[in-house]
C-alpha cells in the first residue's frame, strides 16, 4: 500500500516507534481506543505502538463505516465512554473516509464530545483546515507516533 511504499523509499518518513519508549510507563489498559485504518501494515504499527505505551484495549476497524457502526451502537446502548474514549482515523479509506467519520461523530449529539484524532499521511495545510472545520481534536502526520500517544493521553484525560 501507499504507506509501505513511502516508508521503503524514504525511511525517515516512517513511524518513529522508538519515541514511545521515551514516554515512560503509565496505566492506560482500561481505556478503549478505536482505530479506523485500512492499511494492515499501519494498523499493526499503530497497534503495536499503542500497546507499547500501555493502551491494550484497542478496537480495529478497516474503514470509517465500520467505525461509525461501532460508535453508533455504543451510543445507542448509552455507554459510549465505556466503549470508546478516543477515535484515531486515517483520512483515505474505502467505503467511508476519515473526514466523513469525523463529521458524523462531531455532528451527532450523543457522540460530539468523543475525541477524534486524524492520523494520516495526507495531513497538509488544506487537509488540516478541513479537519479543523469538521471538529477534529487533533491532526498528525503518520511519522508522529510519539506525539499521537501524548495527544491521546491528553484527550482521554479530558473525556
In whole angstroms, how large is the CA radius of gyration of the chain?
15
Query: Could you give the domains of the chain?
Result: 26-60+73-158 (3.40.50.2300)
Rounded distance, CA 80 to CA 116, Å? 14
What confidence tier does 124 reach under pLDDT thresholds 50, 70, 90?
confident
Rounded distance, CA 86 to CA 115, Å? 5
If you search the block for the grid coordinates 479537519, which residue do you land on? 131
- Exposure string of 40-78, with b = 16+ CB inside 10 Å and e = fewer, is eebbebbbebbebbbbebbbbbbbbbbbbebbbebbeee
Residues with Cβ < 8 Å from 47, sequence gap 6 or more?
Answer: 35, 58, 60
pLDDT tens figures, 130-154: 999 999 999 998 767 778 888 999 9
pLDDT tens figures, 56-73: 999 999 999 999 999 999
What confidence tier does 122 reach under pLDDT thresholds 50, 70, 90?
confident
Please tell me the predicted confidence (pLDDT) of residue 49.
86
Is 48:17 a contact under the CB 8 Å cutoff? yes
Rounded distance, CA 53 to CA 26, Å? 7
pTM for this predicted structure: 0.83
Rounded distance, CA 117 to CA 140, Å? 8
CA count, 13 A, side-chain hemisphere, 60? 15
The helix (H) or strand (E) run that includes residue 119 is strand 116-120
Amino acid at each position: 500500500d501507499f504507506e509501505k511504499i513511502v516508508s521503503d523509499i524514504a525511511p525517515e518518513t516512517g513511524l518513529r516507534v522508538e519515541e514511545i519508549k521515551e514516554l515512560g510507563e503509565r496505566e492506560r489498559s482500561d481505556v478503549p481506543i478505536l482505530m479506523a485504518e485500512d492499511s494492515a501494515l499501519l494498523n499493526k504499527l499503530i497497534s503495536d505502538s499503542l500497546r507499547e505505551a500501555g493502551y491494550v484495549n484497542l478496537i480495529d476497524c478497516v474503514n470509517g463505516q465500520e467505525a461509525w457502526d461501532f460508535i453508533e451502537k455504543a451510543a445507542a446502548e448509552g455507554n459510549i465512554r465505556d466503549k470508546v474514549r478516543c477515535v484515531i482515523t486515517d483520512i483515505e479509506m474505502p467505503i467511508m473516509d476519515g473526514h466523513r467519520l469525523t463529521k458524523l461523530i462531531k455532528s451527532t449529539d450523543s457522540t460530539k464530545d468523543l475525541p477524534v484524532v486524524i492520523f494520516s499521511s495526507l495531513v497538509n495545510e488544506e487537509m488540516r483546515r478541513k479537519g479543523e472545520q469538521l471538529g477534529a481534536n487533533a491532526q498528525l502526520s503518520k511519522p508522529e507516533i510519539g506525539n499521537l500517544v501524548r495527544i491521546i493521553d491528553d484527550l482521554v484525560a479530558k473525556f
